Amino acid sequence: MAEKTIIRHVRIAGHPFVLRNTDVLRAVRKIDPEPITSHFVVIGARRFPPKQVLSEITGLDRADFTTHQARRTLIRLGFSAGRRLSTSARTRGGGTRVQSPSESERLGHRLRSLAGEWVAIKDGDVLHSANTPHELVEWLSQHGQKADSMFRVPEDELAATGLAPL
């Protein structure tokens, strides 16, 4: 079933644009998400900084608009948005990470959509995913990021258990 195309007429930094959700999908296919500092939009199974996406589809400099404007525009095009929990909100006492059941479920759901890919995890969130460990390490290096862990997401439940098929 084909997705419905959503079209929005917007004015950003004094420039008029006609934006389509299909244009956003097409534009982000060829780029890697940058690290998420606070806000993100979900496009496909990947999270992107809103300003990265809006800059990519409009050609505007990121200084020409706010994160709030970018989020609002992308939400109106039908994309989900969220905000990363701050590190202080994620830890308790001596820095031990506390993850609520809902956080665990969200991460598990997100990992299922990345089956077969290599992922880098930091503070209980997916930093980035790639097809090979080399691509993942290269992305981390390019963006000055450090992960708490890296692993390949199992293809299915059987692979996750490590048991051989009968």
Based on the fold, state whether residues 78 and 12 are members of the same structural domain.
yes
Q: Does some domain include residue 94? A: no
Residue 92 lies in a domain: no
Query: 13 in a domain, yes or no?
Result: yes
Please write the tens of the pLDDT for every residue from 45-68.
789 999 999 999 999 999 999 999
13 and 77 belong to one structural domain:
yes
* All residues at 6 or more sequence positions from 45 whose CB lies less than 8 Å from its CB, including other chains: 110, 113, 114
What is the domain count for the chain?
Answer: 2
Q: Are residues 70 and 112 in the same domain?
A: no
User: Which pLDDT score, from 0 to 100, does residue 111 have?
Assistant: 79
The β-bridge partners of 9 are 18
User: What 8-state DSSP symbol labels residue 145?
Assistant: -
Instruction: Write a three-state SS string for 25-78.
Output: HHHHHCCCCCCCCCEEEEECCEEECHHHHHHHHHCCCHHHCCHHHHHHHHHHCC
In this prediction, residue 104 carries a pLDDT of 64
Mean pLDDT along residues 112-123 = 85
Whether 17 and 79 map to the same domain: the answer is: yes
Min mean pLDDT across 103-107, 122-126, 153-157 is at 103-107
pLDDT-derived band at 23, boundaries 50, 70, 90: very high
Position with higher pLDDT, 159 vs 33: 33
* Together in a domain, 104 and 78: no
List the Cα angle 51/13/52 in 5-degree steps: 10
Q: Is residue 165 part of a domain?
A: no
Which range marks the domain in which residue 70 is found? 7-83
Q: Are residues 72 and 110 in the same domain?
A: no
